[in-house]
Amino acid sequence: MMRVSAKTVNGQFWEPKTKVNRVVPISCKLREYLDRHISNNVDGNWFFPTPHGKRWDADNVSRSNRKANN
């Protein structure tokens, strides 16, 4: 299980689009991977930051995904 909740990171506020905190079921393998990734994360940065250490903009992520899928 992974908790998804509103938070402020480096002065930037983020919350789920539904504005409701929740628990998301995930596989044991994914949990192992994420736990290893967390240990490499420093200073409370975003879990999967941009190359510049910032929060991904939802529109930019969509554009990147479209390019990768073509």
**What would the pLDDT profile of 6-55 be if each residue is shown by its tens digit?**
888 778 888 888 889 999 999 999 988 888 876 555 555 677 777 777 77
Range of the domain at 9: 2-69
Query: Domain tally for the chain?
Result: 1
Closest CA to 1 of 15, 18, 21: 21
Can you give the pLDDT at residue 26?
Answer: 93
Does the predicted TM-score (pTM) go above 0.75?
A: no
Query: Side-chain half-sphere of 3: how many Cα atoms within 13 Å?
Result: 4
Closest CA to 54 of 5, 14, 4: 14
